[in-house]
Amino acid sequence: MGTSPVVSLRHVTKSFRRDTLEVPVLRGIDLETSGGDFVALMGPSGSGKSTVLNLIAGIDRPTSGDIRVAGSDLASMSETDLAAFRSRHIGFIFQMYNLIPVLTAEENVALPLLLTPLSGKERREHVRTALGVVGLTDRAKHFPRQLSGGQEQRAAIARAIVTDPTLLLADEPTGDLDATSATEILELLRRLNAEYGKTILLVTHDPRAAGYARTRRFLDKGVLGEMPASYAASASR
């Protein structure tokens, strides 16, 4: 595990324009994450958690402030460079899994590898490994509609880790799952962090999910602050 920050946000603000109205979402946040961290970013709905993830992934741009991820200054990068950056450094896990419905589990997992110079054989090996890590080898040929919610999310995690990205960004990954499946997914994330040293930034409003992280930060009304006592109690397990 390295000590240089994988993610560094300095005085980041983000506002959205609704008609003529400027709606501030992030009000100058600072955040630093080192390699091998497992950080939970908590906060109520609308607090700006997903916006933080989008900014770190380079799929949205801040109104002001600096964002450095894996040594890259995202503000200075073009759309094309950002796409290349995402394919190299970011693995995204969504609440709604967001698998491509017309592709099988293994084809979904293979998608990010199409952006690498790997050969077909190497790609197949990587896919097999990723599906093995998430315990979904026997469902490789299944389409998303043939999988349970938990299995879909595991396939989505396999897709996120298959290129061995620098950073895993998980946006409410258990928000659409039953308790048992949610626990499986959170255990899987913890294992990815503990055994494989993956740096994970988990966005959740669920204190129980946040409990799996090593570090917890709280975002409220666009400001990073201390965890309220009620959250902290629920999050400690």
Residues at the interface with other proteins (CB under 8 A)? 50, 54, 57, 59-60, 79-80, 83-88, 90, 92, 94, 96, 98, 100-103, 107, 111-112, 114-115, 159
Task: State the nearest-atom distance from the C-beta of 43 to other proteins, in Å.
Answer: 17
Task: State the nearest-atom distance from the C-beta of 233 to other proteins, in Å.
Answer: 32
Task: State the nearest-atom distance from the C-beta of 121 to other proteins, in Å.
Answer: 16
For other proteins, the closer of residues 41 and 235 by Cβ is: 41
Task: State the nearest-atom distance from the C-beta of 3 to other proteins, in Å.
Answer: 27
For other proteins, the closer of residues 103 and 140 by Cβ is: 103
For other proteins, the closer of residues 43 and 207 by Cβ is: 43
For other proteins, the closer of residues 199 and 235 by Cβ is: 199
Task: State the nearest-atom distance from the C-beta of 55 to other proteins, in Å.
Answer: 9
Q: How far apart are CA 134 and CA 188, in angstroms?
A: 7
For other proteins, the closer of residues 169 and 224 by Cβ is: 169
The 3-class secondary structure across the chain, one letter per residue, is CCCCEEEEEEEEEEEEEECCEEEEEEEEEEEEEECCCEEEEECCCCCCHHHHHHHHHCCCCCCEEEEEECCEEHHHCCHHHHHHHHHHHEEEECCCCCCCCCCCHHHHHHHHHHHCCCCHHHHHHHHHHHHHHCCCHHHCCCCHHHCCHHHHHHHHHHHHHCCCCCEEEEECCCCCCCHHHHHHHHHHHHHHHHHHCCEEEEEECCHHHHCCCCEEEEEECCEEECCCHHHHHHHCC
Task: State the nearest-atom distance from the C-beta of 69 to other proteins, in Å.
Answer: 14
Residues 6+ apart with CB under 8 A from 210: 40, 42, 202, 204, 216, 231, 235
For other proteins, the closer of residues 89 and 216 by Cβ is: 89
Residue 199 identity (one-letter amino acid): T
